[in-house]
Amino acid sequence: MEARRYPFRAMGSVCELRLYGDGEAQVDDVAEAARAEVLRLERKYSRYRDDSLTTRVNRSAGDRAGVDVDEETASLLDYADTAFRESGGLFDVTSGILRAAWDFRSGRVPTQEELDGLRPRIGWDKVSWRRPRVVLPLAGMELDFGGYVKEYAADRAAELCRQAGLSSGLVDLGGDLAVVGPHPDGRPWKVGIRHPRRPETAVATVCLAAGGIASSGDYERFMVVDGVRYGHILSPKTGWPVRGFAAVSVAAPHCLVAGTASTVAMLKGDAGADWLQGLGLPSLWIDQSERIHGSLAA
């Protein structure tokens, strides 16, 4: 018996659901509901849509009245607050404003002056967040849910499948994975971790029966200028791309946690290895010399 496959595009990524179920029609209906949930979250939190909640909040920047948000958004902002504090300010949902200086299709490195002009508008600690109201105090500040909403969407889609009665399946949103449940015979899902320099090659295979796995790295969006590689993971403290790992993958009980952990490890640079080991989650990291480390590397 093979899992039914449901490919689609969402959140700028190639996505796929792999689901088992007793009846073809039932599985089709659940897959459509899960896909619709991912697209709902894209519509709600995309910074590229004029009608998204993110855009509405960002347009309020500089208005001390702020915006009241719903319970789902409040939970995501609570999570962002916790991640900001636990990461020492590295996981910062206000740092998306740096994309105004960094265009990785341009082949142009911004000047320090350009970055210095944006940095005063960065800082989750500047935001006033008291449920249900969020206030961006400075004109031009922005919230960007893009650093974690895809992982949240993977968890939501997997949970929706379970609530609909499916016990075997896998949600794959552009490489961020959440397990519905193992194969019907109990076998875990075998997941390949992509090599950051040779995308058709897997550096390791991970077996997952529950939870999720996510990866971060300097390979999705980057540019090479004068022989220097600039990746899209930008430090909110400096405005510059982080140096250190080429890629990090983390497995966790939830894809959201895995994604946050892999991103923070990238942001920590040379200190990321010790941080990952202290975190205690199964992980793998690849340094700039393409050496592979971590518990998932075995």
Chain-centre distance of CA 278, in angstroms? 21
Which of 136, 144, 106, 100 minimizes the C-alpha distance to 119?
Answer: 100
- CB count within 10 Å of CB 24 equals 9
C-alpha of 56 from chain center = 22
Residue 235, phi then psi, degrees to nearest 5:
-75, 125
What pLDDT, on a 0 to 100 scale, did the predictor assign at position 244? Answer: 86
**238 Cβ contact list (under 8 Å, min separation 6):** 115
Q: Which domain holds residue 87?
A: 53-143
Tell me, yes or no, whether 135 lies in a domain.
yes
Q: Write down the pLDDT at residue 199.
A: 80
Whether residues 134 and 195 share a domain: the answer is no
CATH of the domain at 106: 1.10.3980.10
Do 100 and 200 fall within a single domain?
Answer: no
CA distances from 211 to 52, 149, 239, 252, 285 (A): 29, 16, 33, 6, 19
- Do both 193 and 109 map to the same domain? no
Q: Residue 286 pairs with which residues in a beta bridge?
A: 247, 292
Report the C-alpha gap between 294 and 277 in whole angstroms.
Answer: 8
Q: Are both 206 and 291 inside the same structural domain?
A: yes
Q: Give the angle 44-135-42 at the CA atoms, nearest 5°.
A: 10
pTM: 0.96
Does residue 223 lie in a domain region? yes
The residue whose two tokens read 């480390």 is: 293
Q: Per-residue confidence of the chain (298 residues) as pLDDT tens digits?
A: 889 999 999 999 999 999 999 888 999 999 999 999 999 999 999 999 999 999 999 999 999 999 999 999 999 999 999 999 999 999 999 999 999 999 999 999 999 999 999 999 999 999 999 999 999 999 999 999 999 999 999 999 999 999 999 999 999 999 999 999 999 999 999 999 998 888 888 999 999 999 999 999 988 889 999 999 999 999 999 999 998 899 999 999 999 999 999 999 999 998 999 999 999 999 999 999 999 999 998 6
- Residues 281, 200, single domain; the answer is yes
Structure tokens at 242: 């982080």
Q: Diameter of the chain by CA atoms?
A: 60
